[in-house]
């Protein structure tokens, strides 16, 4: 504790080793330059190879009359999941037509259409490799962790340098970002095919080839299709993010540019296109995936008839659209574009009720965000008050009382937790001297996962310290901690509610689905409009995006508690609250912790996107590096974010595993 009071003289404790920042970044840049100089021909070739199908697909989608494309997608939607999806698909595509975003939408679709098969194909190959060889699997898992935690902005820079300016960069970035779920699902699917199935194939005398392609792959197909679905969604999300490099006139670019110009009506309308496209792609691919799972047999005759009928219908439409140009290209005078009206309405609402949002923002800022960021001590200093020593003493006495209470309720660890939170709020997270944080994290990691986890955590934190990113990293930590804490409390409560209330559960499930399918980008639009730029807006965007896994895992954890345990608790006369806090939550805690883990990951990935609304943390550093095309800075910052994520991940996973073993529960997979 005394360290805090002396830190004015010991600035090296919070403002660290900048002397290492230079060499590492310069080194990385040097390597990059050499790479570009020597191998640019190879990357040029790849770029050419990939741009060919992209331009072809783009050309075709632009050439096809909108009516044909719309009906084709509607038919696909019907085949995937029946009437409701067909109607939804038709309505969504019509929205794109009517609002005049057809061209941009089709460009984005072309990007997805090339990137998703690429990611799925590469992912399948790597998954098979990982399944075949243990060494490859271990290497792959580390790579996958990096691919999923290093923010895309930071590898956009080297990709730009290697492949040159253009849509191919977005394509490759999407493939990198989107193939991990495919790899994971393929590895898991192939490995978990029941052994009796494989043995029955072998006993039928299948060769290795037959056994793999006729038995193992079909049996793993449901899991593989889950991977395909996740890959498509990740691709779309990334295609939108990658539009920051511009130049392809896609819908992501439209959103970004209108958002920068503060044209909320326009950005809301184009953001809607992204959300709709995400939902269509998700429902269609999920629909086909569940077909594979249920293996309901449709007679092949009627299927081929349906195909022929669809083809005829599309041909007829094509012919008709040659006669009626309106069916080919939506006339611009028919365009429904109420952006101006939306803007008017929004500014009216804000002028009328803006004070509500402002108040909320102020309350959260002063009660949660600022104390966490700079601490009560500084906060009062800044506003002109000083906290008298008596008051400071009173605060610590109160903290001591809370610690005592906590130690009764949750033993020693509870007291330590209270002390840490109290200290963080008093001094501010960003002012924590690094040795203290090293110690806290090191001990936590050692407790949860032993020496290996502790070593990994300390090494990772040393990297951040030595690259001179400690300051922004602490800002990230603070923002992330606030968002995760908020998600944890609110999401946990919602999840617990959903677990006990079927109607609420049925209500929240589609909400969760939607929140999870919408690309991260879109979250910023309403947030920035209601709360302007700043930490609070970032907080809201992060919470909105990262709360979903918390709700899901909590509900799942509580719902999957053995019925007999619940019945025993009721039989012993537990009240509802007693049951919830003394039975449900402790038993569900491993699942809840995995939800927390996912929430942290989601929060970190959103952090970088949230940099667009003006935070000043690592996310912003990545973004600045991107605009400066500075490979070294982009990569070190990206790795720092990845490290924060991976340290949190390792500690929580280790803890959850330990706890699950203690409780004798089956392992819950976090996909």
Partner 1 sequence: MTYFLDDQIGSAKDRKVKLSCRNIWKCYGPMDSGIYQMRDTPERASAVAALRSSGCVPAAIDVSFDVHAGEIFVIMGLSGSGKSTVIRCLSRLVEPSYGEILFDGEDLLEASPKRLIEIRRRRMGMVFQSFGLLPHLTVLENVAFPLRVQGVDRQRRESRASEMIELVGLKGRECAFPAQLSGGQQQRVGIARSLAVEPELWFLDEPFSALDPLIRRQMQNEFLRLQTLLKKTIVFITHDFLEAIRLADRIAIMKDGQIIQIGSAAEIVLKPANDYVREFTRDVPLAHVLTVADVIEPYRGHLQATQSCGADMSLLDAMPSFAGNLEGFAVTNSSGAIVGEITASKVLTIFAESQERTR
The answer to whether 638 touches 657, Cβ cutoff 8 Å, is no
Which one of 85-93, 215-223, 419-427, 514-522 is the stretch in contact with partner 1 (CB under 8 A)?
A: 215-223
Among residues 175 and 215, whose Cβ is nearest to partner 1? 215
Q: Rounded to whole angstroms, how far apart are CA atoms 234 and 481?
A: 25
Q: What is the DSSP string of 268-280?
A: HHHHHHHHHHHHH
Instruction: Check residue 205 for interaction with partner 1 (CB under 8 A).
Output: yes
Q: Rounded to whole angstroms, how far apart are CA atoms 594 and 655?
A: 9
Positive or negative torsion for Cα 613, 619, 620, 626: negative
Q: What is the DSSP string of 235-262?
A: HHHHHHHGGGG--S--HHHHHHHHHHTT
Q: Give me the phi and psi of 513, to 5 degrees please.
A: -55, -45
**Residue whose C-alpha is closest to residue 589's, from 509, 453, 494, 496:** 496
Among residues 125 and 218, whose Cβ is nearest to partner 1? 218
Instruction: Check residue 289 for interaction with partner 1 (CB under 8 A).
Output: no
Instruction: Check residue 215 for interaction with partner 1 (CB under 8 A).
Output: yes
Among 88, 94, 95, 214, binds partner 1 (CB under 8 A): 214
**Residue whose C-alpha is closest to residue 360's, from 539, 237, 616:** 539
Among 15, 55, 200, 391, binds partner 1 (CB under 8 A): 200
Among residues 193 and 236, whose Cβ is nearest to partner 1? 193
Q: How many residues does the chain have?
A: 671
Token output for 618 = 């690592």
Among 24, 71, 219, 543, binds partner 1 (CB under 8 A): 219
Instruction: Check residue 386 for interaction with partner 1 (CB under 8 A).
Output: no
Among 297, 302, 332, 666, binds partner 1 (CB under 8 A): 297
Residues 6+ apart with CB under 8 A from 77: 85, 86, 88, 89, 90, 280, 283, 284, 287
Least Å from the CB of residue 225 to partner 1: 12
Among residues 205 and 510, whose Cβ is nearest to partner 1? 205
Least Å from the CB of residue 228 to partner 1: 16
Which one of 76-84, 126-134, 201-209, 533-541 is the stretch in contact with partner 1 (CB under 8 A)?
A: 201-209
Least Å from the CB of residue 227 to partner 1: 17
* Window 175-194: contact mask with partner 1 (x via CB under 8 A): -------------------x
Among residues 215 and 612, whose Cβ is nearest to partner 1? 215
Instruction: Rounding to the nearest 10 degrees, give the CA dihedral for residues 312, 313, 314, 318.
Output: 100
Q: Which of residues 87-116 bind partner 1 (CB under 8 A)?
A: none
Least Å from the CB of residue 210 to partner 1: 6
Token output for 501 = 């209330």
Among residues 194 and 331, whose Cβ is nearest to partner 1? 194
Query: What's the chain's Rg over C-alpha atoms?
Result: 27
# residues contacting partner 1 (CB under 8 A): 23
Q: What is the DSSP string of 340-358?
A: HHHHHHHHHHHHHHHHHHH
Q: Rounded to whole angstroms, how far apart are CA atoms 52 and 117?
A: 15
Least Å from the CB of residue 207 to partner 1: 6
Among residues 156 and 225, whose Cβ is nearest to partner 1? 225
Instruction: Check residue 204 for interaction with partner 1 (CB under 8 A).
Output: yes
Residues 6+ apart with CB under 8 A from 441: 457, 458, 461, 647, 651
Q: Give me the phi and psi of 509, to 5 degrees please.
A: -65, -50
Among 295, 332, 388, 662, binds partner 1 (CB under 8 A): 295
Instruction: Check residue 384 for interaction with partner 1 (CB under 8 A).
Output: no
Which one of 33-41, 226-234, 293-301, 501-509 is the stretch in contact with partner 1 (CB under 8 A)?
A: 293-301
Instruction: Check residue 196 for interaction with partner 1 (CB under 8 A).
Output: yes
Instruction: Check residue 197 for interaction with partner 1 (CB under 8 A).
Output: yes
Least Å from the CB of residue 193 to partner 1: 10
Instruction: Check residue 207 for interaction with partner 1 (CB under 8 A).
Output: yes
Among residues 195 and 332, whose Cβ is nearest to partner 1? 195
Q: Rounded to whole angstroms, how far apart are CA atoms 499 and 505?
A: 7
* Window 220-259: contact mask with partner 1 (x via CB under 8 A): -x--------------------------------------
Among residues 304 and 341, whose Cβ is nearest to partner 1? 304
Least Å from the CB of residue 201 to partner 1: 8
Q: Rounded to whole angstroms, how far apart are CA atoms 580 and 566?
A: 10
Alpha helices in 501-534 (DSSP H): 502-517, 520-531
Among 14, 51, 210, 532, binds partner 1 (CB under 8 A): 210
Among residues 29 and 211, whose Cβ is nearest to partner 1? 211
Instruction: Rounding to the nearest 10 degrees, give the CA dihedral for residues 370, 371, 373, 379.
Output: 70
Which one of 213-221, 361-369, 479-487, 553-561 is the stretch in contact with partner 1 (CB under 8 A)?
A: 213-221
Among residues 217 and 327, whose Cβ is nearest to partner 1? 217
Among 31, 36, 64, 206, binds partner 1 (CB under 8 A): 206
DSSP symbol at 665:
P
Among residues 210 and 263, whose Cβ is nearest to partner 1? 210
Which one of 170-178, 287-295, 321-329, 407-415 is the stretch in contact with partner 1 (CB under 8 A)?
A: 287-295
Report how far apart the first and last C-alpha atoms of the chain are (Å, whole number): 40
Least Å from the CB of residue 196 to partner 1: 4
In angstroms, the Cα distances linking 512 to 321, 517, 546, 593 are 39, 9, 10, 19
Among residues 300 and 332, whose Cβ is nearest to partner 1? 300
Which one of 169-177, 203-211, 238-246, 498-506 is the stretch in contact with partner 1 (CB under 8 A)?
A: 203-211
Residues 6+ apart with CB under 8 A from 410: 417
Q: Give me the phi and psi of 458, to 5 degrees please.
A: -65, -40
Least Å from the CB of residue 219 to partner 1: 6
Which one of 208-216, 260-268, 333-341, 453-461 is the stretch in contact with partner 1 (CB under 8 A)?
A: 208-216
Among 2, 11, 63, 203, binds partner 1 (CB under 8 A): 203
In angstroms, the Cα distances linking 108 to 57, 250, 274, 611 are 11, 5, 9, 23
Specify burial of residue 323 (Cβ count, 10 A radius: 0-12, 13-18, 19+).
Answer: exposed
Q: Rounded to whole angstroms, how far apart are CA atoms 430 and 437?
A: 11
Q: Rounded to whole angstroms, how far apart are CA atoms 553 and 551?
A: 6
Instruction: Check residue 560 for interaction with partner 1 (CB under 8 A).
Output: no
Among residues 296 and 577, whose Cβ is nearest to partner 1? 296
Least Å from the CB of residue 298 to partner 1: 11
| Site residues for partner 1 per CB under 8 A | 194, 196-197, 199-207, 210, 214-215, 218-219, 221, 292, 294-297
């Amino acid at each position: 504790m005394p360290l805090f009071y002396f830190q004015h003289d010991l600035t090296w404790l919070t403002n660290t080793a900048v002397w290492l920042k230079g060499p590492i970044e310069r080194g990385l840049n040097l390597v990059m330059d050499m790479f570009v100089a020597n191998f640019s021909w190879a990357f040029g070739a790849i770029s050419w190879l990939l741009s060919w199908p992209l331009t072809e697909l783009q050309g075709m989608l632009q050439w096809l009359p909108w009516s044909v494309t719309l009906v084709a997608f509607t038919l696909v939607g019907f085949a995937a999941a029946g009437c409701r999806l067909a109607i939804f698909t038709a309505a969504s595509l019509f929205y794109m037509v009517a609002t005049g975003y057809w061209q941009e939408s089709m460009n984005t679709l072309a990007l997805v259409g090339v990137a998703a098969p690429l990611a799925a194909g590469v992912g399948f190959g790597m998954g098979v490799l990982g399944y075949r060889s243990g060494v490859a699997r271990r290497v792959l898992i580390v790579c996958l962790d990096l691919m999923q935690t290093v923010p895309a902005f930071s590898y956009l820079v080297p990709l730009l340098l290697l492949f040159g300016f253009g849509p191919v960069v977005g394509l490759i970035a999407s493939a990198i970002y989107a193939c991990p779920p495919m790899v994971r699902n393929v590895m898991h699917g192939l490995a978990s095919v029941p052994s009796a199935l494989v043995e029955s194939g072998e006993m039928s005398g299948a060769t290795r080839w037959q056994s793999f392609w006729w038995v193992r792959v079909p049996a793993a197909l449901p899991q593989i299709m889950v991977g395909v679905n996740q890959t498509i969604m990740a691709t779309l999300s990334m295609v939108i993010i990658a539009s920051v490099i511009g130049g392809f006139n896609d819908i992501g670019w439209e959103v970004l540019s209108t958002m920068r110009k503060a044209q909320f009506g326009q950005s809301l309308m184009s953001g809607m296109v992204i959300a709709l496209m995400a939902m269509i792609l998700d429902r269609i691919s999920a629909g086909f995936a569940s077909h594979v799972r249920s293996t309901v047999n449709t007679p092949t005759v009627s299927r081929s008839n349906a195909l022929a009928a669809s083809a005829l219908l599309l041909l007829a439409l094509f012919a008709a659209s040659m006669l009626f140009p309106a069916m080919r290209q939506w006339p611009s005078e028919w365009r429904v574009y109420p952006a101006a009206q939306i803007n008017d309405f929004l500014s009216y609402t804000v002028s009328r009720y803006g004070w509500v949002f402002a108040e909320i923002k102020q309350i959260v800022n002063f009660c949660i965000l600022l104390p966490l960021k700079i601490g009560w001590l500084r906060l009062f200093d800044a506003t002109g008050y000083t906290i008298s020593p008596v008051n400071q003493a009173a605060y610590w006495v109160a903290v001591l009382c809370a610690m005592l209470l906590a130690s009764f309720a949750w033993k020693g660890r509870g007291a330590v937790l209270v002390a840490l939170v109290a200290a963080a709020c008093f001094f501010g997270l960003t002012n924590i001297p690094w040795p203290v944080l090293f110690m806290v994290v090191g001990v936590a990691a050692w407790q949860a996962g032993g020496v290996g986890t502790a070593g990994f955590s300390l090494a990772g934190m040393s990297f951040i310290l030595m690259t001179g990113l400690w300051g922004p990293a602490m800002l990230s930590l603070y923002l992330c901690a606030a968002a995760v804490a908020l998600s944890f409390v609110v999401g946990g409560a919602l999840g617990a509610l959903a677990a006990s209330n079927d109607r609420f559960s049925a209500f929240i499930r589609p909400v969760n689905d939607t929140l999870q399918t919408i690309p991260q980008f879109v979250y910023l639009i309403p947030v920035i409009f209601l709360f302007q730029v700043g930490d609070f807006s970032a907080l809201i965007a992060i919470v909105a995006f990262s709360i979903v896994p918390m709700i899901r895992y909590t509900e799942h954890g509580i719902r999957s508690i053995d019925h007999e345990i619940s019945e025993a608790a009721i039989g012993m006369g537990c009240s509802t609250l007693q049951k919830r806090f003394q039975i449900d939550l402790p038993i569900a805690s491993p699942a809840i912790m995995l939800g927390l883990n996912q929430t942290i990951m989601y929060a970190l990935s959103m952090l970088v996107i949230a940099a667009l609304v003006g935070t000043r943390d690592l996310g912003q550093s990545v973004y600045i590096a991107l605009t400066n095309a500075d490979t070294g800075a982009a990569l070190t910052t990206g790795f720092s974010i990845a490290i924060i994520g991976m340290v949190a991940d390792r500690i929580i996973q280790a803890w959850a595993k330990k706890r699950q073993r203690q409780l004798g529960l089956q392992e819950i997979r976090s996909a």
